[in-house]
Amino acid sequence: MDITTLRNIGSIVVPVTSVFPQNAAAGTIDGTSIDRTLHNLAGSCVLHQVVGADSGAPSALSVQTTLQHSPDESTWSNYEIGTTVQQTAALTAVNSENTAAIDLTGAYRFIRAVQVVSFTGGTSPEALVAADIILGGERELAAV
């Protein structure tokens, strides 16, 4: 890695929001599709999820983000390496975040984040959630 790369990480990674920030009730949120061919078939990514404040006084919450892939942008499946579904650990506290590093070499052309939000107790509970996919390992880097 040369000094130019160390001072310009933007030349080697591309952050893309898949689940835009939103107040979510319990359920599943299908993120926006990302076409990997627009990013020189990025070979890896970091799946990033965040949960902010909640409302409705739940006694517990859980937010977990899974990476899905599709060959045609209509038929989606969980992305697995071997038999392991590629996903983050569940977040169980407000104002928290975590990531999962994922090898994309076996992924189809399209990828997206899918968040599952669940609560225990409360009155119409919701939480602020979002998920990003930071692409890296492009086969050809952009000109600097």
Q: Which domains does the chain have, with CATH numbers?
A: 23-136 (2.60.120)
**pLDDT per residue over 88-127, tens digit each?**
999 999 999 999 999 999 999 999 999 999 999 999 999 9
Average pLDDT over residues 135-140: 78
Q: What pLDDT score does 13 carry?
A: 87
Q: What pLDDT score does 79 carry?
A: 98
15: helix, strand or coil: strand
Average pLDDT over residues 76-98: 98
Q: What residue ranges in the chain does DSSP mark as E strands?
A: 13-24, 27-30, 34-35, 44-55, 60-70, 77-78, 80-81, 84-85, 96-103, 110-120, 126-136
Q: What pLDDT score does 17 carry?
A: 97
Q: What is the pTM of this model?
A: 0.90
Q: Is the pLDDT of residue 7 over 80?
A: no
Q: Is the pLDDT of residue 51 over 70?
A: yes
Q: Is the pLDDT of residue 28 over 80?
A: yes
